[in-house]
Each structure stands twice: as C-alpha cells, then as structure tokens.
Structure 1
C-alpha cells in the first residue's frame, strides 16, 4: 500500500471513519495530495485532493480524538470550472464553500464516480475555539452548543481562497511549518467568523438529517435555474415543509433568505461571466433573466461596489 493511502488510514482513524470501511473502498480513490498537520489537542488540519474511480460511500462516526469540537471544511478550494460550462449546469457542491458541523455528528459520505475532492478540513477543540473568539462568542452561540445538531454553509470570500491556497501548497518540510499552519488556520477562522457575524439573524434550532437534505434540495433547485427562480409553491412542495419552516431552516443553514440567496448566486455568476467570458453587460443580464438592465446594474453594484461595466474594466486592467 502506498504511503499516501497509509496516511489516509491514519487520518480516517482519527476522524472516526471505520478502518475496515476505508480499506474496502480506498482502492477506488486516486490520491493526488494528502497532508495531515497534528496540532492536537487544539487542532487537526487535513489537506486532501483525490478523485474517485467508482461511486461509493462510507459512514463517518463520531470523531473521538477530542471530547467536543467543531469541524470546519473548506470545500473545492480550487475552482477549476471548464470554459463554456454555465453555473446553472454545475452542481452547487462544486463551488468553493465552507461547511461547519459539530464533530460528534455522524454522516454518510458519498463519492460519485469521477468526483474530484479538494478540501482543507480543520478540526478544532471547542474550548480552544471559545478562547480564540473571546468576548464575541455570544454572537456565535450556535457554534458552541454542540449538544444540538447544526449545519452551516458559507460562501468562501476571495481572501479566504488565497489563504486556503497557501495552506494547500505549503510543504511540511518548510521551516516552522506547523506554526505557519496554526497561524493560517486561525486567520481563516477569523475571516469565516467575521462573515458569519453579517448573517441574517435567525433562531438556530436542532436540525434533523431529513431537514438538512430538504433545504439542499431547495438550494439546488434555485442554483440550477438562475435565469428563472422556481415559484414559492414549487420550493415548498419540494421541501416537504411548511413555508415558514422552510424559510427558517434555509436561513439558518445558508445565512440568507431564499430570495436573497438566489440573487447572491446570480451576482456571483454575473461576475464570472464578465471576467472569464468577456460578455457584455446586456448579454450577462439577459442570460441571467433580467429584463430590466438598470435593476441588474443596481443589484450588481450593491454586491460588488461598482457598476458591471466599470467592474469588468477594472478587472481586465488589473489581471490581463
């Protein structure tokens, strides 16, 4: 067995995954990169890049290397979208994002055939995290109530993308590499928690697996139809919840109301079309379902601080 796969078995044991399960399925994985930085008892950092040759799944049990902790996973740290592929045609799970869960949550991990996993996972001990956040921990109370099952997803800012890239490309043989990893992990958490403080206020209820799955069905339905939002009745029916419950849980997980989240996705796609495909402002607006280009411009400016054309020109000047 290769050294990378031996290392994966060691990681799996620390992260609560059955060794028998991993040994049975590891043959389906092509490991491009795998690093573990053991900073226990405070933190454990894992960097991995792998591709599955077959569809398989395994169950991750409660993580036992610390009594109580939070698992922060920076998913798809390299956004390698093929040219010509539209945002609506892609699985939302392929976009760079962050997920936060308590370390005791058990979950089923699915690897579809051909899936390319690129992630940095930080397991951080709860009391250490409280000390890091300090007096502001009351504002992020839901992260520290690990008796409840919470599930948070947040967009990855450009600054966070730069940081995770630094972590992914650092060699463990560098001078003071463990100190560097610790500093950058704390910096990432600072940026992440700063973003969480800007979220829409909502009550954080205990979530079931079915409720989490339901809001992801709704989120994906929105993401696959950026030029035309599904109707409220369609989304309620899809979720199997009441409208009120859907709105509450959606905001709890994604930090925005459904309509605000939909517009955020549209603006992220608009920026991508403007900078990567050099489309005109009108082409982008119409492509994303805006019949009123003035409204499109105002919405874009609200998100990025500049009108679309000026933003596109500044991007071209800076990067081309």
Structure 2
C-alpha cells in the first residue's frame, strides 16, 4: 500500500518529428540540455534519465535513453490522431521486469523486447521502483516508409495493418532475431556525435535495413517452452528454408519461436538432422547461392546482398568455406563448362 502512494503517474502525447525541439523547449525547466552532445538529462526524487538524440530532418528521430526509477512509475502514451508516423522501440538492457499494456494485452518486457506501433496507439508502461533500463526508440515518418521500404516484404498481417491503416495496434516481439538486436545496439552506439552527412546517410541505410529485416519476419506468437516433439526439428528446418535470404536469426529467436529451450533445440536438431541449425542454414543458403551464380546476370556482389549479407567479403568467405572455392572462380568454371 505504501508503494502505491509513491507511484508516479505520467502522461505524454505523441508528437511529430518536426516538433521535437519545440516540445523539448517546453520542458526546458525540467531538463538539462547539452546541445554539443545532443543529450538531455534529468535527476529528481522520482527518476533520473539521460537520452541522446539524432534528428535526421523530418523523417527520422533516434532516441537512446537510460532511465533509473526511484519510485514506481505508470506512464501512459496518448495517441495523436493526425498525420501518420511510427515508432520502433527496443529494450536493450534492464535490471528488473516491467510491463507493457496495450488494448488490454499485457506484455512482460524482457531484455530485447521490441515493439512497433503508430502514433494512433495508446499504451501504458509500468516500471517498478529501482528499475533501470536502456532503450532505443526510432521514430519514422510515413514518407520514410514509402521511400525506403518495399511493402511487398511486409509479411505479418498485424504489421501490414499498422502501416496501411490508422489504428491503435501494436506489434510486439519478445525475442527479436540476433541480426536485428545487433543493428539496434550499433545504432545506439552511433547516436551521439553522428552529425556529418556521411554518418546520416549510413544511419538511414542502417535503419532501413533493420526495418526490412523486421518486416520480412515470418513470426507467430511465442509459446511456452515444452519438450521437443520428433518432428519439431523438421519444422525448424522448414522455417530456415524460407529464411535463406536473410541473416541467420539466432538460436534464442528460434527457440522462442518454436516454444523450446535452446539446449533442447540444439540436441534434438543434431539427433534428427545430424547437424546444427546454423550449419543447416548455411549449407542451404550456399546451395541457393550456387544457383544464383549460374545466372548470366548475377554478380558476386548482387548475390551477396540478395542473400542478406552486409558486404560481399563475408559472402565470399562463407561460400569458400562451404565449397573450397570463391564464388568468382566458381562462376568462371561454370562459364568455361558452358
């Protein structure tokens, strides 16, 4: 009961990217600003936080925030039913569990939890006293989606609805694939001090690649860990067969997706398939690479990017590791034989 008396109730409304500095100016009495480093800080009896930001015109705003709650918090984000923009929020680190409430759905927030929603959403975050968190939020304009994202890649029906229609839906992933988590951490590290035109271009490309991976996910609601049925390894293998044009999603993601433990997945996949999930994925991916390299219009770089590699050199190493020959030499041998 005593804890309830010290619950901090906060409300905030969505605001468009173009209003960022105006909103920050209104809070100037509560925040300390370091304009040289693009950082705002606050420290009071209820909480302390610091967030660095990078503003990329009116299309992208990146916020890297670290928070320490001295009291229990209940924070409500109110919808803004005007124009259309989106937020991708990822929990990078935490020391206690927290809760996200949206449309009467309750999500336990764990390290890595990711949510995507529009400014029409209305959600509540509950944080316990003593809670520490590091998160990254990327606010994206609808124009950015139109210009940088191939909507044909959006595989999940809920994501399609969020992007195409004004609604308060939220797409939550408890355990994102490893490549997405890696991208989020890289973005968090580059927010402060990234002010040159080249850095901005690289950052925009990094964000569009992250969104593309997110939108292409074949994902269902995660289930609780269970024992692994005999055919579960085949189910995982079939899932990976459809994943060959993206980076390997990681064992944690696969285990969560199929409701099994990581150790159980490794053990039973080895028993059923006589290999590891990653080795299976890489072998199938390189077989696909062979077929693509046999096409007359294919180049090594083009095939590398088609298969989700971030640069051709990593693809060359993977191909040579699988077949003992570089993809360039393989192509030449195929041309000679033809």
User: TM-score with structure 2 length normalisation?
Assistant: 0.49
Unaligned runs of 5+ in 2: 1-10, 32-42, 97-106, 229-253, 282-338
More strand by share: 2
Partner residue in 2 for 1:49: 66
Gap change, CA 1:304 and 1:137, over 3 Å in 2: closer
Distance 1:111 1:27 in 2: 15
**Is the partner of 2:48 in helix, strand or coil?**
strand
Distance 1:120 1:300 in 2: 39
Gap change, CA 1:58 and 1:262, over 3 Å in 2: closer
Distance 2:54 2:203 in 1: 12
Number of aligned residue pairs:
214
**Is the partner of 1:191 in helix, strand or coil?**
helix
User: Does the CA-based 8 Å contact 2:87-2:140 persist in structure 1?
Assistant: yes
1:266 equivalent to 2:260? Answer yes
More helix by share: 1
Q: Deviations over 1:228-261 (max 9, x none)?
A: 69xxxxxxxxxxxxxxxxxxxxxxxxxxxxxx87
Partner residue in 1 for 2:166: 147
Gap change, CA 1:40 and 1:305, over 3 Å in 2: same
Unaligned runs of 5+ in 1: 1-8, 82-90, 202-214, 230-259, 271-283, 308-320
**Is the partner of 2:260 in helix, strand or coil?**
helix
Question: RMSD across aligned C-alpha pairs, in angstroms?
Answer: 4.5
**Is the partner of 1:266 in helix, strand or coil?**
coil
1:74 equivalent to 2:73? Answer no
Distance 2:273 2:44 in 1: 46
Distance 2:45 2:198 in 1: 34
Distance 2:45 2:274 in 1: 46
1:1-320 residue pairs with structure 2 within 5 A?
27-31=45-49, 33-63=50-80, 67-75=83-91, 77-78=92-93, 93-134=109-150, 136=152, 141-154=160-173, 155-170=175-190, 172-174=192-194, 176=196, 179-181=198-200, 183-199=202-218, 222-223=223-224, 226=225, 264=258, 266-267=260-261, 270=262, 284-285=263-264, 294=268, 297-298=271-272, 303-305=277-279
Distance 1:138 1:306 in 2: 26
**Is the partner of 1:153 in helix, strand or coil?**
strand
Shift of 1:135: 5.9
Shift of 1:47: 0.6
Shift of 1:69: 0.7
Distance 2:86 2:63 in 1: 14
Larger Rg, first or second structure (1 or 2): 2
Distance 1:297 1:94 in 2: 31
User: Does the CA-based 8 Å contact 2:77-2:124 persist in structure 1?
Assistant: yes
User: TM-score with structure 1 length normalisation?
Assistant: 0.52
**Is the partner of 1:131 in helix, strand or coil?**
helix
Q: Deviations over 1:67-108 (max 9, x none)?
A: 211111122x24889xxxxxxxxx952231321011221222
Distance 1:72 1:262 in 2: 20
